[in-house]
Amino acid sequence: TTIPTLSSLYTTLSLKPTSKSAHRPSPTLLTKISLFQGDITTLHLPNGAIVNAANKSLLGGGGVDGAIHRAAGPQLLEECRTLGGAKTGESKITGGWRLPSKHIIHTVGPIYHSGEIEEKASQLKSCYTTSLHLALTHGLRTIAFPSISTGIYGYPIVDATRIALGAVREVLDADANEDKVRVSVCVYGDKDKEVYESLLPEYFPPV
Ligand code: ADP
Does 24 have pLDDT greater than 80? no
Which strands make up the sheet holding 33-37, listed edge to edge?
33-37, 182-187, 142-145, 48-54, 103-108, 91-95
For the CA of 148, the closest atom of ligand 1 is 3
- Predicted confidence at residue 27, as pLDDT, reads 53
| Tens of pLDDT, residues 119-153 | 999 999 999 999 999 999 999 999 999 999 999 99
Q: Which residue's CA lies nearest to atom 13 of ligand 1? A: 151
Cα of 63 vs centre of ligand 1, distance in Å, is 5
Pocket of ligand 1, beta carbon within 6 A:
39-41, 53, 63-65, 67, 109, 146-153, 186, 188-189, 192
pLDDT tens, residue by residue, 148-192 = 999 999 999 999 999 999 999 999 998 778 789 999 999 999 999
Contact 148, 40 (CB under 8 A): no
As for the ipTM of the complex, it is 0.99
- Our CA dihedral for 174, 175, 178, 182, rounded to 10 degrees, sits at -80
pLDDT at position 8, please? 31
Ligand 1: which of 37, 40, 59, 64 to mutate, judged by most atoms within 8 Å of the beta carbon?
Answer: 64
Residue 32 confidence (pLDDT): 82
Statement: residue 18 has pLDDT above 50? no
Task: Check whether 19 has a pLDDT greater than 50.
Answer: no
Residue 28: band (very low, low, confident or very high) from pLDDT cuts 50, 70, 90: low
- The answer to whether 135 touches 92, Cβ cutoff 8 Å, is no
Letter string b/e over residues 154-190, b meaning 16 or more CB atoms within 10 A of that residue's CB:
ebebebbbbbbbebbbebbeeeebbeebbbbbbbbee
Q: Which atom of ligand 1 approaches the CA of 155 most closely?
A: 4
